[in-house]
């Protein structure tokens, strides 16, 4: 298996072709981790844009054609069964470079913080300061995470929303561009998610500065995501095929499956720019590669339908 540096070098030297700029996100556990990241990425040999092969679509795609624009001037939503790539755009000579961003973690409970990062919450925030400072000096976007915001495997399901809001505000004050508030254990419910968002907004935190991250351990991730959507959140973490878990939370499954989240969002009329059928194919492929079950209900349903036609 390739190590982190090898993966980083591969992604930077051979960025995939895409219809929109790609942000490569890397977790940095401490300042040394960011310094090593910069040492590896600091070279003129790495193009931030995809291959110039004329058969490969550059980034970003051209603007929508007039017939793709609705009466209000907004691009029409992409439906779950639609292919946003098929016959909609043609190669263009212009492109926008891909970008890199780094992620750093803290937690909403002291016990989980010590188990996961071997330090207290206060110590973890202090560790974040020089990481954010160095990243900002290099114009690298920073994403913070607050783990176990809706339930802790050690301290139980009743995590203080006020504490989560306090930590989230601290990360933003340090300089994080966005904070993903994470239900690491999947203990979150719709009422608890509403209560948490009320505390976050009450602390003066804007919805545009937040993302939500729901594990689907108890089958509540989509329900909680819709609650967030109704409250103005527009950024959600997900994992293709429902991959993931948490070594410090027994029984925790992966994030909400990307395919399931896309189907839900599209059914509500949201525009994502992602083709759910292609995502289902990716989920099927990666699950087979890893020798694990495909945990996306939508993905399996789409594949069954496609195989019968």
DSSP string, 205-264: --GGGEEEEEB-TTS-HHHHHHHHHHTT---EE-BGGG----TTSTT---BPBHHHHHHH
User: How far apart are the C-alpha atoms of 230 and 211, rounded to whole Å?
Assistant: 13
Q: Give which of 227, 43, 223, 31 is closest to 135, Cα–Cα.
A: 31
Provide the 10 A C-beta neighbour count for residue 23.
11
Catalytic residue among 119, 128, 152, 246: 246
Q: Establish whether 246 is a catalytic residue.
A: yes
Residue 101 corresponds to which tokens in the numbers above? 């961003």
Provide the 10 A C-beta neighbour count for residue 77.
15
Sort residue 291 into left (φ over 0), alpha (ψ -120 to 50) or beta.
Answer: left
User: How far apart are the C-alpha atoms of 39 and 52, rounded to whole Å?
Assistant: 26
Mind telling me the catalytic residues?
A: 246
């Amino acid at each position: 298996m390739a190590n982190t540096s090898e993966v980083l070098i591969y992604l930077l030297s051979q960025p995939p072709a895409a219809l929109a700029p790609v942000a490569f996100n890397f977790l940095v556990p401490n300042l040394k981790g960011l310094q090593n990241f910069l040492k590896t990425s600091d070279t003129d040999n790495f193009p931030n844009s995809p291959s110039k092969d004329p058969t490969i679509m550059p980034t970003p795609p051209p603007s929508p054609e007039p017939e793709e624009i609705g009466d209000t001037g907004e691009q029409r939503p992409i439906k779950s069964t639609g292919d946003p790539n098929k016959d909609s755009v043609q190669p263009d000579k212009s492109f926008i470079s891909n970008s890199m961003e780094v992620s750093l973690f803290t937690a909403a409970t002291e016990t989980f913080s010590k188990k996961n990062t071997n330090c207290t919450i206060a110590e973890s925030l202090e560790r974040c300061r020089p990481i954010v400072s160095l990243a900002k000096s290099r114009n690298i976007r920073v994403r913070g995470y607050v783990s176990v915001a809706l339930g802790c495997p050690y301290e139980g399901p009743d995590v203080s929303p006020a504490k989560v809001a306090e930590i989230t505000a601290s990360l933003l004050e340090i300089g994080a561009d966005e904070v993903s508030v994470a239900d690491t254990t999947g203990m979150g419910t719709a009422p608890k998610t509403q209560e948490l968002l009320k505390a976050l907004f009450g602390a003066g935190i804007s919805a545009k500065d937040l993302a939500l991250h729901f594990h689907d351990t108890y089958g509540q991730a989509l329900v909680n995501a819709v609650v967030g959507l109704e409250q103005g959140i527009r950024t959600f973490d997900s994992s293709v095929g429902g991959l993931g878990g948490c070594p410090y939370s027994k029984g925790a499954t992966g994030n909400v499956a990307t395919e399931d989240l896309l189907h839900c969002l599209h059914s509500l009329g949201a525009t994502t720019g992602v083709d759910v059928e292609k995502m289902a194919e990716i989920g099927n492929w990666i699950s087979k590669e890893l020798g694990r079950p495909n945990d996306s209900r939508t993905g399996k349903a789409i594949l069954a339908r496609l195989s019968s036609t």
